A = this chain, B = another copy of it.
Amino acid sequence: MSEYQKRYDAFVRLIEDYLTACMDRLVRESSPYAQPLTEAMRYSLLSGGKRLRPVLLLASHAAFKEEVTPALPFAAGVEMIHCYSLIHDDLPCMDDDALRRGQPTNHMVYGEAMALLAGDALLNLAFEEMSASGHEHALKAIAAVAGRSGSRGMIAGQTADIALSHQRPEKDKARYIHQHKTADLISAAVQAGLILAGAPEARLKAGERYARHLGVAFQIVDDLLDLRGDVKLLGKDTHKDQALGKITWPALVGEAQSQKDAATEIALAKQAAEEVEGPAGFLSELALNTLNRVQ
């Protein structure tokens, strides 16, 4: 196993342990009356997944401060935000998905009402964790996350993704959706990691470019995987984009060009990563690995 993969897995273990402890504490502190809620939250939050965003947060932090424990409440926070957005995205009134990470989606198991509340509760829990951390840079990190996960960021992207469905596909629209729906929360993770580690302003800016290019590449790759229909690799229903009339990059420029565009974005991400962490670091490796999924 590569050094990169060992490090990735070590980050994931830290995150899984933290999330598990967090949910255990919540269940312990909750009345039996709230049990349907905590069960639904646990089901989606502890269902595995790549944990990309919290890994990015810890890795960005580690580029300046190796001891990442103080950043864990924030790593958990961005993963909770990602998780809530998936639960709500999967609801019948949104993308109406039955499968996620190879398992039935939250509302298929717990019903729509509980899935809705579990999503709300995970978004809220993210801010509970971050604000209760007592970290000296907590407020700045929370502001960086909140600004990118809300109506100027990720939710604006989800809105465009829905509002522009079945409309004439244009590159400008696709870029807006990718930028906000996917890249903004990736950027939130990188910014929070750097802020918590006390990284200088110039590095924050390079981190912003890194996250933007990585996020856009990541979404193009996701669109390609949906198109190719690999249910097993994606762990969710495929060929959904077309059925939902979603604007995707492959639909705009074709499959071959999409792969080239993803490679270009990754090259730019790698460049920015070097400004953050120096040459041949973890963030560069992570960018290259994103591309490997479709090669």
Contact = CB atoms under 8 A, between A and B. Distances in A.
Contacts of A151: 26, 30, 34, 37-38, 41, 121, 124-125
Contacts of A139: 131, 134, 138-139
Number of copies: 2
Given A29-B152, A120-B120, 14 more contacts: A31-B160, A31-B176, A33-B177, A34-B160, A36-B159, A37-B159, A85-B120, A117-B155, A117-B158, A119-B120, A121-B151, A124-B151, A125-B151, A127-B146
19 contacts: A30-B151, A31-B156, A33-B160, A33-B163, A33-B164, A33-B173, A34-B160, A91-B116, A93-B112, A93-B116, A94-B113, A114-B162, A116-B116, A121-B150, A123-B124, A124-B146, A125-B150, A127-B127, A131-B146
Nearest to A31: B176
Interface of A: prevailing SS:
helix
A34 B152 CA distance: 8
Interface of A: 26, 29-31, 33-38, 41, 84-85, 88, 91, 93-94, 111-114, 116-117, 119-121, 123-125, 127-128, 131-132, 134, 138-139, 142-143, 146-147, 149-152, 155-156, 158-160, 162-164, 173, 176-177
